[in-house]
Structure 1
Amino acid sequence: MQTAVQTLPAHLMPSYQRPSLSSVVNRNSTMLPTPPVGARKRKRAHQYTVSYSEVQEVDTDGRLREIIVIEDTPPPPTASPATSSRTNGYSASYQPPAYSAPIRTRARAAMEAQADSSGSLSTALPIPAPKKRKRELDEAPPPTKKGFPPAQASTNHATWTNGSTATSATTPKQQVSCDDKEGHYIVTPDDIIYKRYRTVRLLGQGTFGKVVEAVDIETNKRVAIKIIRAIQKYREASRIEVRVLQKLKERDPSNRHKCIHLLNWFDYRNHICLVSELLGMCVYDFLKENDFAPFPRDHIQSFAQQLLGSVAFLHDLHIIHTDLKPENILLVRNDFRTVTVPTPGKRHGHRTKRILDSTDIRLIDFGSATFEDEYHSAVVATRHYRAPEIILGLGWSYPCDAYSLGCILVEFYTGMALFQTHDNLEHLAMMEMVMGKMPENVAREAVNHKPEFFKEGPKLNWPSPKTTKQSRKDVRATRSLQEIIPQTDMINVHFLDLVRKLLMFDPKQRITVRDALRHPYFSQTIPPEL
């Protein structure tokens, strides 16, 4: 399988403009607390399913290429920070949102859809609920069911185009299927993989495979193994991830840039397996277990500096991650302390909140990473973190990673994803509410690619005759960045300026991640708030 392509405009190549940083308000302003961001429940109550499909695109050479598409999944029934109002006088960086009903998170949204297709044995480990936010193509054709190749017989070698060789540990006695009907490897406790790794527990499952915790029998150390599904298109897709991970380790052996390190990889019973260091939970799971309470502002600054450094390192190697999101950021350690904070909206009310002992993180999941000079599929990035140029069909390059980072930093500040939508036109309308009107030069170019999104020339066609009352209400309730991040002190002034530059509509004007590392925000000393 090869990745499909969309011709890239010249202005999105590595030479895109790098705006200089503007000066901001003087640093002697009095530091004031930031009002919190409240939350309201979404009123949509639709039934959704999670599925994947294949689509084909024609590249610039006229060749037909197949790409894997993960279809859209619904947002959690909680408000985004852009549609939440402020309450009381507490700091948004440490006050969790209040809920009047149990939280239905993104991680639960597809549980029912996965239940019927698990196909695992009674002895298999329980499967954690899959993450809800997935990359998707909004108008993909219905998914097709295809079988997966039979398990490979006896020891053989699969040589990939990058020159590496994966050795299969399969023997004739292992012909009995070890997979469920979807091609996922059935994980059982104390299973021995590749005659070296003893499984401990299942850590997670996604469209491309499973991740298990295991003990390396040779070193007695615990590792994480990503087991790719035994379906040829996923096996082929995994070779790009191996290439990227090998290059990252080669260029950064001491891991100064905080990307996951590949320890080993091999082909086992028709499953490509990637072995890496065992880390803590993902940042999204920590947010969920902490009732979506925002991170302290000093933690946000630490996260921002590490993430920008990791992505700048990727861009220096001409690699675009394309799927940056809290699920793909792992904590090195899960240790935390518990503190008591006031409850918004309740007089004399208090609640507990978890504060991390360490903000050390690692960037993971390079399965969608793309080399700048190789084929680019038309749609990339998980919906909530997708840049406008991707939605508008203008092509994409390094700036799409910068935009995703801007969305992530706002989510760290509020506890909620910035954009809660799964409709392209509604998403663009919300972007205009948050970031300001779409620049005319971007709109005029986009009209040629997505005329259905516009009317009367470069004006966004929203609301359209088909726009629902709920959609109109949601967009009207969307708040601007200035309202989400009020400029109550110099820390917020600089943070708002950085986020605004990362979320510029025009990718030519968007700040690069390398320049963002030199932003005045990182020269601020932010004292611990709790």
Structure 2
Amino acid sequence: MRAVGRLIARAATAFTKEPRAPSHLHLEPKRILNSRYEILKQIGSGQHSTVWLAEEYATLRKVAVKVLSDYVTSLQGVHAFELDVLKKIALNQTATHEKRLLHLYDHFLARGDHGHHLCLVSQPLGPSVLDIRSRTPNGALPIPLVQHITRQLLEGLEILHEKCKTVHTDIKFDNILFASHAESPDTNAYCAIDTVLIDFGTAMPEGTDHDRLIQPEALRSPEVLLGCTWDVNADIWNVGCIVFELLTGQRLFKPRAGASWSSEQYHMARIYSTLLDDNDRGRLIEFFRHGAKFTTFFDGDSLRVKATERESIQGILQHYGIYTQELDEFLVAMLRIHPNDRLSARQLLLLPWLRI
């Protein structure tokens, strides 16, 4: 793979917005890639990549081939780290949790009309959590299934955070897939099928001062909103938000702009009104004061936009009729406003709610 290394070494542009429309590799069924994989059909696409189902000649096994745009290929190892992260995962997954993160089988370069395209070969997977939610009346899933998804997601994050030293940055329902389709239409049947965290296209190595905008808007953590440096604790916030949504069918925070406030200011106001411990107010201000967008949200020590009423996770769970002390404890442990106060994936796995 020296060619990959030489190609990657030439990249010098920040991975923000592509300078032109992304050039995807043109593929169609029966096309052969790397003299090894026969393309069967397209199974996914995005701004920066396409995904294809293929068959490996030698073994006849089905594989998924993710083909990056030429631009994103040029950024690998400099401003994007998908290949690096997948290699780390392959080295660090344990026998117990070997299926929790996408497993890289192979990688190679394919030449296109405008440059090279990095191709990442992995196992084909089943439906996403988003797909399963779409089968329910309100998007909520049965509690045992939510516990199953959450437990396996945290097992994957334990490896990603502690062994791979990597922040995923984009944990959402369509990036959590089941390993296969269930034979029964009953959603509870997925309790017997492993989940796999995918899409490391925006993953970043921990240990540097990250402050760029990450995460889906409604799942964005306070430190990201404020423009502070962030780390693996931002992923933990993501998990807290999606667990709440899986249980209730509703987003915990719904950013929206008003006549005199931005959607981000409203988002922070709701975070404070729901999660603030008044004893932490001064400590939080000192932390947030280092954020690039501090004055967007704060006037001195006070929020510029404030919610008209206070609520709590306990009260919200009671409203939905799903409150238990164990669930309240579990969610609050992930949704603490100061990132250093959130429990790690390893610690969360020991809490009672996941062990019921």
TM-score per shorter chain, which class?
0.7 to 0.9
C-alpha distance 437-237 of structure 1, shift in aligned 2 (>3 A): farther
| Residue segments in structure 1 that go unaligned for 5+ positions in a row | 1-64, 70-142, 147-180, 340-353, 464-474, 525-530
Q: Distance in 2 between matches of 1:402 and 1:362?
A: 17
- For 1:486, what is the secondary structure of its paired residue? helix
Q: Which amino acid aligns with 1:68?
A: F
Residues 415, 234 of structure 1: CA spacing in aligned structure 2 closer, same or farther, 3 A cutoff?
farther
| Inter-CA distance 182–320: structure 2 relative to 1 (3 Å threshold) | closer
**Equivalent runs, 1:82-481 vs 2, <5 Å:** 145-146=19-20, 182-231=22-71, 233-237=72-76, 240-252=81-93, 254=95, 256-257=97-98, 258-269=100-111, 270-317=116-163, 318-335=165-182, 337-338=184-185, 354-357=187-190, 358-374=192-208, 376-421=210-255, 423-436=263-276, 439-440=280-281, 441-449=283-291, 450-455=294-299, 457-462=300-305, 480-481=312-313
Change (3 A) 1:514 1:381: same
How far the C-alpha of 1:292 sits from its partner, in A, is 4.2
Answer 1 or 2: higher relative contact order, Cα 8 Å, separation at least 6.
Answer: 1
1:488 Cα deviation from its structure 2 partner:
9.5
| Residue deviations 1:331-358 (CA, integer Å, cap 9, x gap) | 112215346xxxxxxxxxxxxxx44343
Q: Deviations over 1:356-387 (max 9, x none)?
A: 34341011112222222346352222222221
Cα deviation for residue 480 of structure 1 reads 3.6
Q: Which amino acid aligns with 1:460?
A: L
RMSD: 2.7
Q: Which of 5, 11, 15 is 1:68 aligned to?
A: 15
TM-score with structure 2 setting the length: 0.82
Q: Number of paired residues?
A: 326
C-alpha contact 1:228 1:235 (8 A) present in aligned 2: no
2:66 aligns to what SS in structure 1? Answer: strand
Whether the 8 Å CA contact 1:410–1:418 is kept in 2: the answer is: yes
Question: 2:352 matched to which residue of 1?
Answer: 520
Report the residue type matching 1:241 in the other structure.
E
The residue matched to 2:145 in structure 1 has which SS?
A: helix
Q: Which amino acid aligns with 2:14?
A: I
Give the distance between the partners of 2:65 and 2:185, measured in 1 at CA: 31
Identity of matched residues, %: 25
Distance across 2 between alignment mates of 1:262 and 1:366: 11
Deviation at 1:431, TM superposition (A): 1.3
SS at match of 2:67: strand
The residue type paired with residue 67 of structure 1 is A
- Deviation of 1:196 (Å): 1.8
Q: How far apart are the structure 2 equivalents of 1:489 and 1:337? A: 28
Paired residues of 1:391 and 1:424 also in contact (CA < 8 A): yes
Higher-Rg structure is: 1
286 and 421 in structure 1: CA distance in 2 versus 1, 3 angstrom threshold:
same
Name which of 485, 497, 500 aligns with 2:317: 485
Q: Cα distance 1:490–1:409, how it changes in 2: closer, same or farther (>3 A)?
A: closer
Distance 1:503 1:336, change over 3 A: farther
Report the alpha carbon displacement of residue 414 of structure 1 after superposing the two structures with TM. 1.5
Does the 8 Å contact 1:224/1:277 carry over to 2? yes
SS of residue paired to 2:108:
strand
Task: State the secondary structure of the residue aligned to 1:294.
Answer: coil
The secondary structure found in structure 2 opposite 1:508 is helix
CA contact (8 A) 1:241 1:366 kept: yes
1:478–1:488: structure 2 CA closer, same or farther, 3 Å change rule?
Answer: closer
Which string of whole-angstrom CA distances, capped at 9 and with x for unpartnered residues, describes residues 101-146 of structure 1? xxxxxxxxxxxxxxxxxxxxxxxxxxxxxxxxxxxxxxxxxx6753
C-alpha displacement of 1:447: 3.8
Contact 2:73 2:118 in 1 (8 A): no
* Structure showing the higher helix proportion among its residues: 2
